[in-house]
Amino acid sequence: MSERTGCVVVGGGPAGMVLGLLLARAGVEVTVLEKHADFLRDFRGDTVHPSTLQLLDELGLADRFAELPYTRVEEVAFPIGDDRQIVVADFRRLRVPYPYVAMVPQWDLLNLLADAGREEPTFSLRMRTEMTELVQEGGRVRGVRYRTEDGGTGEIRADLVVACDGRWSTARRQAGLRSTDFPVPIDAWWFRLPREPDDEPATLRPRAGPGRFAVVIPRDRYLQIAYIGRKGTDPQMRARGVERFRADVAALMPELAGRVDTLASMDDVKHLDVRVDRLRRWHADGLLCIGDAAHSMSPVGGVGINLAVQDAVAAATLLAGPLRRGTVTPKDLAAVRTRRILATAAVQTVQRLMHRGLVVPILEGRRMSPPTPVLAVLRRVPQLSSVPAYLIGVGLRPEHAPDFARRTGSAAPTERPAARIRRLRTH
Ligand SMILES: Cc1cc2nc3c(=O)[nH]c(=O)nc-3n(C[C@H](O)[C@H](O)[C@H](O)COP(=O)(O)OP(=O)(O)OC[C@H]3O[C@@H](n4cnc5c(N)ncnc54)[C@H](O)[C@@H]3O)c2cc1C
């Protein structure tokens, strides 16, 4: 037996949860399918950038966000030896309500969005429900078939299916949408180490040594480390064993040497096959892809979540009306890509330039830091660190909540949002 809804959203990641919430606030019947039982997956993107913080505020969710266990990152600084560092991105210089990146476990953010969604009568979130197949009839996507964890199956028909199922998207593959795949020379490995009280919390600090590169991300109770190496070297790294890996980490970050024993085996080190690709067309008739399903991002710059969220806001803004009228056309769907393509392509281009110009020279031992002319300019004109901060934190086309989705939070309306968050954190 088949059910019916206005919009099926496949995948409850950042793109899917924001889209589901916004469409529900527009009064559209929306069903979000998420294959996992919960949002508790480790080593997902955890950065919530100034543009997303502002969006949460516009949605009336700033107060709830402020209660999550987050840490603030106010700058990205590159160590240049002798205990000196150069700030390459200074978020404090941005004239935005939230001039910092909030590091928050992604599952907390997704739970917050799910709770807000459940307050809307037209919102439905089905966990443990995996989309297995697109229903395609007469050259149009008409809905999805799904399987539940307990073996049940079913079909939901809808005016529109939005694929938010991430970089291995089943929906985009089944629809035959073609992508441009960009060569990527790096992979990433993720692990955590204990955090100590005097670890500096406000700075995201990339570390470079001969043939090695890592970024230490301060989290509420631990340090999350992204360790970057050459693509395809995961089998060798695992064959060398955990002791050699610990020694590599200790050599790169001597201040953490006393903590590397907490890595019990290479099972504690998760491999990420880094990909950068982009669909040429983001839609088929009745289907739209957004977020990583439309464009896989490199972890460099930590912007994947925020782009996924921005796609969702653009999609909700452009499609809520057609969905309410039940008349979503391919032209409406194409408009989402048109609106988002510049910001997406620009970020992917910068990521690829950083792979080539920054990360690979470090991995090949040719350099230990960003190119000298860049450092010299930043040293002389520190205000320029606001440029990378803007590109990372806000991006080329920041999206704002459409009127139908805006709500006010419970705090005093005259108070500035950032001040409100600070106040709540002190309680
Ligand atoms: C290890 C790692 C670290 C990263 N670090 C950062 C970072 O620090 N900052 C940052 O901004 N970005 C980071 N990224 C990228 C970021 O996580 C993604 O760009 C972002 O999550 C994309 O959001 P999304 O909603 O498009 O897709 P996803 O977050 O991938 O969500 C897809 C969802 O769909 C579900 N799903 C998949 N298939 C199906 C199906 N058939 N049926 C139902 N559900 C399905 C999945 O379970 C998942 O919940 C990182 C990525 C990885 C892998």
Render pLDDT for 35-78 as a digit per residue (tens, 0 to 9). Answer: 999 988 766 778 899 999 999 999 999 999 999 988 898 998 88
Residue 49 CA: nearest ligand 1 atom is: 11
Ligand 1 centroid distance, CA of 233 (Å): 23
Describe the crossing of helices 106-118 and 14-25 by its angle, rounded to 10 degrees.
Answer: 20
Q: Token match 């985009």: residue?
A: 172
Identify which of 19, 34, 126 to mutate to test ligand 1's pocket (most ligand atoms within 8 A of the CB).
34
Pocket lining: 222 vs ligand 1, CB cutoff 6 Å: no
Structure tokens at 292: 């990583």
pLDDT band of residue 420 (cuts 50, 70, 90) is very low
| Across 348-371, average pLDDT | 86
Spell out the alpha helix ranges (H) of 43-144.
50-58, 62-66, 106-118
| Across 357-385, average pLDDT | 86
Pocket lining: 302 vs ligand 1, CB cutoff 6 Å: yes
Identify the CA nearest to 3 among candidates 157, 114, 108: 157
Q: Whose CA is nearest to atom 26 of ligand 1?
A: 291
pLDDT band of residue 360 (cuts 50, 70, 90) is confident
The amino acid occupying position 22 is: L
Q: Whose CA is nearest to atom 27 of ligand 1?
A: 166
Write out pLDDT tens, residues 219-243.
778 888 999 989 999 999 999 999 9
Ligand 1 centroid distance, CA of 385 (Å): 29
Give the 3-state secondary structure of residue 90.
strand
pLDDT band of residue 413 (cuts 50, 70, 90) is very low
Q: How far apart are CA 36 and CA 33, in angstroms?
A: 9
Q: Token match 């955090």: residue?
A: 195
Query: Model-level pTM?
Result: 0.92
Identify which of 186, 305, 394 to mutate to test ligand 1's pocket (most ligand atoms within 8 A of the CB).
305
Pocket lining: 22 vs ligand 1, CB cutoff 6 Å: no
Write out pLDDT tens, residues 294-337.
999 998 888 899 999 999 999 999 999 999 999 999 999 999 99
Identify which of 22, 36, 43, 44 to mutate to test ligand 1's pocket (most ligand atoms within 8 A of the CB).
44
Identify which of 49, 272, 292, 300 to mutate to test ligand 1's pocket (most ligand atoms within 8 A of the CB).
292
Q: What's the confidence (pLDDT) of residue 262?
A: 96
Please state, rounded to an integer, the average pLDDT across all residues of the chain: 90
Q: What's the confidence (pLDDT) of residue 422?
A: 38
Identify the CA nearest to 287 among candidates 203, 169, 185: 169
Q: What's the confidence (pLDDT) of residue 424?
A: 34
What is the Cα gyration radius of the chain? 22
